[in-house]
Amino acid sequence: GVSHFFKSQDPSVQVYLVDPPGSSLFNKVVRGVLYTREEAEGKRLKNPFDTITEGIGLNRLTWNFDQALVDGAFKGTDREAVEMAAYLIRNDGLFLGSSAAMNCVGD
């Protein structure tokens, strides 16, 4: 994937995940455990989190993510993604969707 390519070109490159609150992938990267406190036994809701950002916030480990070389993770909200998308079109002329804009937010 992308992380393998970038690191093959320059080993000092760092790759980060940005995911919405409630995503288990954030916890997998930061804590090494693929679940959130909200998913603990007896606490899991049918639809615990809702996001407008397409394609992120999974609560399962996919093969491609398991192969990725991820150095760290940040949390980003839908609001931050929408605000970043507006900023990028206004200031840089980039018309991006919410998941692409999410890559530009985080702590």
Q: Is the pLDDT of residue 24 over 60?
A: yes
Q: Hey, where are the domains in the chain?
A: 2-76
Which tokens go with 63? Answer: 């093969």
Burial 50-84 (b: 16+ CB within 10 A, else e): ebebeebbebeeeeebeebeeeebbbbebebbbeb
Supply the pTM of this predicted model: 0.76
Per-residue confidence (pLDDT) for residue 87, from 0 to 100: 97
Say whether 55 sits in a helix, a strand or coil.
coil
Q: What is the predicted pLDDT for the residue at 5?
A: 97
Place 35 in a pLDDT band, splitting at 50, 70 and 90: confident
From residue 62, alpha-carbon distances to 28, 57, 67, 82, 97 in Å are: 12, 12, 9, 26, 22
Is residue 11 scored above 70 in pLDDT?
yes
Q: What is the pLDDT of residue 44?
A: 55
Condensed to tens digits (0 to 9), the pLDDT of residues 49-106 reads 566 676 676 777 889 989 999 999 998 888 999 999 999 999 999 999 888 899 898 6
